[in-house]
Amino acid sequence: MVKNKRNTDANSLLILVLDVSPLAWGERDIQRTAQDKSRVALGKRSVGPAVLEEALEATEAFASAFCSIEHDAGLVLIAVADNETAVVYPRSNDISEWMLHPETYLPDIRKMKEHLTVGVHELLLRAASKAQYLSDASSRQAAMAAAFSNALCIINRFLVAARVGGVSALRNETHLNRNDDQGVIALMDGKAKSKPASKKLSGWSPRIFLIQASDDRSRDYNAFMNCAFAAVKQSIVVDGCFLSAKGNHSSSAFLEQACDLTGGVFLSPSGTAQVGGALTEVLHSVFLADVPSRCLLNLPAINKVDFRARCFETAELVDLAYVCNQCLSIFRKQPKNYCPTCQAKIVVDSKRVGTTEI
């Protein structure tokens, strides 16, 4: 588990990942409409779950509060829909301005809200155009592992820039235009020539906040947990908020494990805590505080985390399983011909009865 160390000299760097998958939010909209129709007739308020518009409003309010609390903080918003991910804020031209003039650049909250709305709209259109090529419903669930990996790459770029001198390390034309890996090696070794690091780029306290609405994709378990282990290695805290639509007992085993390993906060608010502005209050009260300040707050604890093995194909719990010796994926039933995860060929050992090598 990552130990939370107080570092008053480091600026907060938050990578917020929002799941906007059409299938997950479409199911919520249908469920919400059906429930509200009967409850309104009885004079009762909605019990959720949240719809996409409410999630976007809560995310905008959370991001605005984060920027207002710490002006030197860094904020990156990533949206994920089906197999598509995209950085919706800041856009490329704003990143260049941020890195070239870190002392004078201030986040524009109005622009952030506009970019979030436009970016999510563009991502949904892109996901819809490719939906016809997806073979099954599981492919319509959010690729949270890909978004998680993208967030880690962004943080790594910031940390490398702070290590080797700041501004020029983040400009592709400075070191990364070589035809081999020497540019990357120079950055990692800290030997590249670059401008002196400004105070704003001299140190970051990074964390990742994952807001998930889709069910876990069983085939992404390897990739997701590798990202969690990488976050532990880099002392990056991962927070998770799972927006359940199936009742108070629904959760994300992958997200719980990642938050527990990295020392982050995990919460799955009930349906009533997702509507009427309640989701905004939940995000502010539970996830807004920076890591050093959390020791002073009474935040939700992760008491029971389910680390039991699950089939990578069906997500069912397993006691005995077939294990791929290439990628270590586990399966309830023996795969046919190839490993579904890494496509390694299955070889049956005739000398050892009842054994199979993949």
Phi then psi for residue 138, to 5 deg, are -65, -25
Domains and CATH numbers, the chain: 11-296 (3.40.50.410), 308-358 (no CATH)
Helix, strand, or coil here: 73? coil
Q: Say what the pLDDT of residue 348 is.
A: 65
247: left (phi over 0), alpha (psi -120 to 50) or beta: left
- Residue among 134, 98, 112 nearest 18 (CA): 112
- Which residues contact residue 320 at a Cβ distance below 8 angstroms, ignoring those fewer than 6 apart? none
- How big is the chain, counted in residues? 358
Residue type, 295: C
Q: What is residue 6's predicted lDDT score, i.e. its pLDDT?
A: 44
What's the pLDDT band for 131 if we cut at 50, 70, 90? confident
3-class secondary structure, 77: strand
Cβ–Cβ under 8 Å, residues 227 and 145: yes
Mean pLDDT of 212-220: 86
Does the pTM surpass 0.95? The reply is: no
Average pLDDT value for residue range 120-126? 90
Give the per-residue pLDDT at 40.
78
Least confident of 182-186, 215-219, 319-323: 182-186
Which residue matches tokens 């590249």? 192
pLDDT of the residue at 280: 93
For residue range 43-98, what is the model confidence (pLDDT) as tens digits?
Answer: 788 777 888 999 999 999 999 999 888 877 888 999 999 888 999 988 776 666 66
The residue that leads in pLDDT, 316 or 18, is 18
